[in-house]
Amino acid sequence: MSHGYSAILFDLDGTIMDSAPGITSTLSYTFERLGLPAQPQSELLRYVGPPIMDSFRDYAGMDLETAQRALEIYREKYLNDGAYDSTVYPGLPQLLKRLGDSPLPMSLATSKPETPATLMLEHFALANCFDIITGASDDEVRSSKQDVVAEALLRLDRMGADMSNPVLIGDRVHDMEGAALNGIPAIFVTWGYGSEAEQEGAVAVVETPEELGRLLLPE
């Protein structure tokens, strides 16, 4: 049954797309270019989801200058190659198209910058499912999940969407926290990159896109 949500915000990496291969290969390239030691895949997967500048600081221990250089290398490689080394999770195209055809207004809300996020959605013919594509600003000034969610809510409100009961769909603790800090509920999907501990605060936990659809769409 539907819970009467009035607008929907979707995370991208780990929620709509398995984008880890493109992200981790681009990270490996970046570290190699910087002359840094290679990192195992298990370590690189931690970078999938959080704002990348935070990850360079928190996981690689980079100072701001090094992180800026890393971002330049990463961004060029990712826009050319890595963004397309992704797959859409089974069942998501069908769900997104059903939502796109419904009256529910929908915005992307990703910590990935808007340019690669838009390119990815266009590449997989999913961009038209969304009324708005909201992500980090391309200069990474707006990159925290809290700020991205706030921007998505603002853009939906400006287009006249019913903002009485919006909901965020995501797979990481950053999604749950970003929603909570904006005073909206979040639904956690288990097919992404988050651990069970990251589900805390979710109003629902779903294991399949079909289960998610039953929560979002009226019968």
- CB atoms closer than 10 angstroms to residue 158: 9
At 42 the three-state DSSP class reads helix
User: b/e map of 92-101 (b: 16 or more CB within 10 Å)?
Assistant: bbebbeebee
Unique residue bearing structure tokens 């005073």: 183
Q: Verify whether residue 139 is a known catalytic residue.
A: no
User: Would you list the DSSP string of 100-167?
Assistant: HHSS--EEEEEEEEHHHHHHHHHHTT-GGG-SEEEEE-TTSSS-SHHHHHHHHHHHHHHTT---SSEE
Residue 3's identity, in one-letter code, is H
CA 127 to chain centre: 14
Catalytic residue among 11, 18, 147, 175: 11
Q: Give catalytic residue positions.
A: 11
